Amino acid sequence: MSDGELNSHGKSMVLSSEPENGFTDALPSLDSDIAMNDFLLQQPSKGVDEHLIEFSEALRTVAKALRRVAEGKASAQAEAAEWKRKYELERARNLQRENKVAELPYEDDNRCEHEMIENVRNESVLQTRSNGQSEKCCGKHGICSHEVLRDGERDPGSKILHDKYVRKASFRLCWGCNGSGQHKHDIVSFERGNITTAERSSKQISLKWESPPQTVLILTKPNSTSVRHLCAEMVRWLKDQKKMNIFVEPRVRTELLTESSNFNFVQSWENEKEILLIHTKVDLVVTLGGDGTVLWAASMFKGPVPPLVPFSLGSLGFMTPFQSEHYRECLDSVLRGPISITLRHRLQCHVIRDEAKDELETEEPILVLNEVTIDRGISSYLTFLECYCDSSFVTSVQGDGLILSTTSGSTAYSLAAGGSMVHPQVPGILFTPICPHSLSFRPLILPEYVTLRVQVPFNSRGHAWASFDGKDRKKLSAGDALVISMAPWPVPTACQVDSTNDFLRSIHEGLHWNLRKTQSFDGPRETL
């Protein structure tokens, strides 16, 4: 090997090796700095720019999707926790009531009698369903209630004295025209004469009394002289001719006693607790007024509602088929039975506040017969709402507001906002926007078994306001939500003919639906 080769190899080894004093050679470092400066001075290629832009857009889309998923999951978890808390609270209350009832002596007074009967009623219904005895309680058609409702009687070992309890009239419901139809034990259950439904029937429903009604509640339109005179006349007739017990509102009772002291037999209530138990005493409800009186009657009952007979004395009558001039004939027919009824379902609305920290800050559910409306109120900003159906995102509402209506309320505010008229026995919830900020936003009809959640997002510019059947207005701030589902207690209203005939007559007479002059026959005709 030559000296040149040795020198060259030695130089390369020296350049690539680290001396003993710890300092590296400066030539490789200088070369790397020059290469880095040259790379930075070069203009980036167009392909690299486009690739980075597409990549950033993809990352932004993924981040937005993940954010929506996280928000939906958090909302679902919060809602599930809320309902679970309510269930545990109600269960604890029921257990506490049962323990109180068990501790009562045999000859106690009547103050807890209604609670005892409610517990006994639930136990009897569950036992009847589990043992399959409900199939034996019927005649040829329909559903009989005497297996559950035996005029207040219980087992021989029971401590409840049925003589102390005001017996409610029993009845049964039949599906199909003229009282014919199939059994519907899985749909309707009878609990002391109360109706509870899990779903609606697609056929005409008939109510037949199995024992005569004894107690009637009369609700009237306020500030009307004609209604006051009619109420007094009806009270006398029901007491003298039908020998019935009569309940009225405290205001009406005061008016009757002012007119004559002979009305001292009329009963009423004194506080809200007695109103909660009024359905256990009343067999029938009579309303004198318009649709507003029917809404007021429905709002009084937070649970089961007795059969309701509405008389028309107002300006509009979509739910009041009976004429007040013929109230004797109408009530005779209703008390004699059988009668056709319409099961008008109600919406159960629950406001969930974002700042609520414990159960004391939650609000009681509100039942509506027509609709719940969410609007922007006096704010100049558009309403911004996020709507969910069960676990699915529906849409974001930007506009004047949103209407969630029952099919009974389809001829009310929902119709004025562009919704369709729907037969009251069609199962569904109407989803109708109010002046939406999008021409493609059209109304929907959702199945009645879903749970809807309407939430005011945190980035909303203003607040929203919720009203329930036109009253009880509540403010919804950012983060608040309104949960809507179908209530298990319908409002059974009596029909003059049947539900379809009454519905068609109401839209013809109330709305003059499709009313036009007949085309002349003396014009040109088609020739063959």
Q: pLDDT tens digit string along 143-200?
A: 444 433 333 444 444 444 444 445 677 777 766 544 444 434 334 444 455 666 554 5
C-alpha span between 472 and 495 (Å, rounded)? 29
Contact 185, 135 (CB under 8 A): yes
Contact 260, 236 (CB under 8 A): no
Q: If you average pLDDT over residues 193-208, what whole number do you get?
A: 67
**For tokens 């300006």, what's the residue?**
315
C-alpha span between 455 and 432 (Å, rounded)? 16
pLDDT for 442 equals 94
pLDDT for 107 equals 44
C-alpha span between 230 and 125 (Å, rounded)? 40
**231-246 residues labelled b (16+ CB within 10 A) or e (exposed):** bbebbeebbeebebbb
Greater model confidence, 140 or 93: 93
Is 502 an annotated catalytic residue? no
Q: What confidence category does residue 202 fall into, taking pLDDT thresholds of 50, 70 and 90?
A: low
pLDDT at 408 over 80: yes
Q: If you average pLDDT over residues 246-262, what whole number do you get?
A: 91
pLDDT for 36 equals 58
Q: If you average pLDDT over residues 435-452, what whole number do you get?
A: 93
CB neighbour list of residue 85: distance below 8 Å, 6 or more residues apart: 359
pLDDT digits (tens, 9 = 90+) for 34-91: 665 665 555 555 555 677 777 777 787 777 777 777 777 777 777 777 777 777 777 7
Range with lowest mean pLDDT among 134-138, 196-200, 335-339, 438-442:
134-138
pLDDT at 383 over 70: yes
pLDDT at 137 over 70: no
Q: If you average pLDDT over residues 353-380, what whole number do you get?
A: 82
Which of 283, 291, 480, 502 is an active site residue?
A: 291
pLDDT for 60 equals 77
Q: What confidence category does residue 527 fall into, taking pLDDT thresholds of 50, 70 and 90?
A: confident
- Written as one letter, the residue type at 116 is M
pLDDT digits (tens, 9 = 90+) for 467-511: 999 988 999 999 899 999 999 999 999 999 999 999 999 999 888
Contact 182, 176 (CB under 8 A): yes
- Joined together, the tokens standing for residue 410 give 């389809």
Instruction: Report the mean per-residue pLDDT for the chain.
Output: 77
C-alpha span between 501 and 44 (Å, rounded)? 77
pLDDT for 526 equals 77
pLDDT for 85 equals 75
pLDDT at 417 over 90: yes
Q: What confidence category does residue 33 fall into, taking pLDDT thresholds of 50, 70 and 90?
A: low
Residues of the chain with pLDDT > 90, as a percent, come to 41
DSSP-H helix ranges across 397-463: 413-416
pLDDT for 44 equals 53
pLDDT for 379 equals 87
Q: What confidence category does residue 293 fall into, taking pLDDT thresholds of 50, 70 and 90?
A: very high
pLDDT at 127 over 50: no
Contact 402, 433 (CB under 8 A): yes
pLDDT at 456 over 90: yes
C-alpha span between 500 and 504 (Å, rounded)? 6
